[in-house]
């Protein structure tokens, strides 16, 4: 009988030890930060914004259980947004406000700028990056592992084939897939979204073995940007079967690409949960610019009912899909209507990490952590969308008003583009052209 009791005590102790390994961390432990960026995702391409064409259940669950950002703005195109995201500075202060960095361009994110990876390393974080960089690589000094990241796997340029990882911009065809600064070929023939998901899961599992330092994981997906012009929209065939009701081939393929992205987010979240890291993690999901709708950039996103497309200063070009999810949020399952700009992430991350953003000079962003955490007012009442001296366009929002000076494409791509038709579904009417957007009533005509 004594022996049985002894075994019972030992079993109980083992159970306690096992549960402790996945228990919630101490309340004061610095949170892990997982930043997921979707490339060229439209406002109307996620079901948490009401899309009836593209179900995104994994994104929806995180968004509905977190804080959705309804007045969140990014730059109208890739490079400027990523520069602001990395530095907390507006693209006009980085020299990155016009278009993107092409593969042969001899410039990049200025080396004098402190990146969020460098700043978080100073606060004791392990920093890992997966996916798209697009901030220059003409010299090694400009690449991710020389800008504060402990590791990087992915590509340096703006777009490429999802399988062979070659880029055909500017009349050249070159392989662009790197691991920690060197060309990496074992991924040739593998679909990029799946590569990046597996890499993220591996980093999370590895980090869970030693959590003495918090984790910053930057997952910058290629999805759902178009690939090269010879085969612009690519997805494993099995995902197309889910969207047989979409008769437009481009929109159907795009929808399938979003579905893979949603599945990726679900798998990354599951890895965080299974390793016990989720309880002390802040997940941020954001698009990098408005969607390329109606065939723009050989793609078929939808920003409806917002006006315009990627690389325009209309709402459809600069209003991003975004949310924050974390068990640490005191007030969640809500929508934040406060104004938020992409350069606010830098000081916000510093606040999450327990640092003081005042120690960084010349930031254009504001820490939004208090408003996210507790639902207080946003510190912003204006957002400069851009001043582009080459296109000679600019735009500014102040409170309920927005000023747009000239149009990027001279009136082209300035319309309203509903998603390509789903058989049997009603199409948007003229009355949809006027919408109430959060606290701002915006006349879109």
Catalytic positions, written as ranges:
78, 134
CB atoms closer than 10 angstroms to residue 308:
29
Helix runs in 159-240, H state only: 192-208, 237-240
Closest CA to 129 of 199, 192, 190, 185: 199
Contact 324, 283 (CB under 8 A): yes
**For residues 320 and 104, what is the distance between their CA atoms, to the nearest angstrom?**
29
CB atoms closer than 10 angstroms to residue 188:
12
**For residues 261 and 288, what is the distance between their CA atoms, to the nearest angstrom?**
14
Contact 27, 276 (CB under 8 A): no
Closest CA to 85 of 343, 361, 366, 387: 343
Q: How far is CA 122 from the centre of its chain?
A: 23
Backbone angles phi and psi of 337, in degrees to 5: -95, 0
CB atoms closer than 10 angstroms to residue 70:
19
């Amino acid at each position: 009988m004594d022996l049985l009791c002894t075994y019972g005590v030992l079993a109980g102790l083992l159970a306690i030890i096992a549960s402790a390994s996945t228990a919630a961390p101490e309340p004061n432990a610095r949170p892990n930060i997982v930043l997921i960026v979707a490339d060229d995702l439209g406002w109307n391409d996620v079901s948490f914004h009401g899309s009836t064409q593209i179900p995104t259940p994994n994104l929806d669950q995180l968004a509905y259980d977190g804080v959705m950002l309804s007045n969140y703005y990014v730059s109208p195109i890739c490079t400027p947004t990523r520069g602001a995201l990395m530095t907390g500075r507006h693209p006009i202060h980085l020299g990155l406000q016009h278009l993107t960095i092409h593969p042969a361009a001899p410039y990049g994110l200025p080396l004098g700028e402190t990146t969020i990876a460098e700043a978080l390393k100073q606060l004791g974080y392990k920093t890992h990056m997966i996916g798209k960089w697009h901030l220059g690589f003409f010299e090694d000094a400009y690449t991710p592992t020389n800008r504060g990241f402990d590791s990087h796997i992915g590509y340096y340029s703006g777009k490429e084939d999802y399988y062979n990882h070659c880029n055909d911009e500017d009349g050249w065809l070159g392989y662009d897939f790197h691991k920690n600064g060197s060309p990496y070929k074992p991924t040739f023939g593998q679909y990029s979204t799946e590569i990046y998901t597996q890499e993220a899961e591996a980093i999370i599992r590895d980090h869970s073995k030693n959590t003495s330092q918090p984790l910053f994981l930057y997952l910058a997906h290629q999805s759902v940007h178009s690939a090269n012009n010879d085969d612009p929209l690519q997805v494993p065939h099995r995902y197309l079967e889910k969207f047989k009701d979409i008769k437009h081939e481009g929109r159907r393929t795009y929808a399938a690409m979003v579905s893979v992205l949603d599945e990726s987010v679900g798998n990354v979240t599951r890895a965080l949960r299974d390793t016990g890291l989720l309880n002390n993690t802040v997940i941020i999901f954001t698009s990098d610019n408005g969607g390329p709708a109606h065939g723009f950039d050989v793609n078929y996103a939808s920003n409806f009912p917002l006006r315009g497309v990627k690389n325009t200063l209309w709402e459809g070009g600069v209003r991003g899909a975004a949310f924050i999810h974390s068990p640490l949020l005191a007030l969640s399952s809500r929508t934040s209507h406060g104004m938020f700009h992409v350069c606010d992430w830098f000081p916000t991350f510093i606040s999450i990490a327990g640092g003081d953003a005042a120690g960084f000079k010349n930031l254009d962003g504001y820490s939004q952590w208090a408003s996210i955490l507790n639902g207080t007012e946003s510190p912003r009442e204006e957002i400069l969308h851009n001043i582009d001296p080459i296109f000679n366009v600019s735009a500014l929002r102040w409170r309920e008003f927005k000023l747009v000076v000239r149009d990027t494409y001279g009136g082209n791509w300035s319309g309203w583009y509903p998603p390509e038709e789903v058989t049997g579904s009603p199409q948007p009417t003229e009355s949809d052209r006027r919408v109430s957007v959060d606290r701002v009533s915006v006349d879109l005509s």
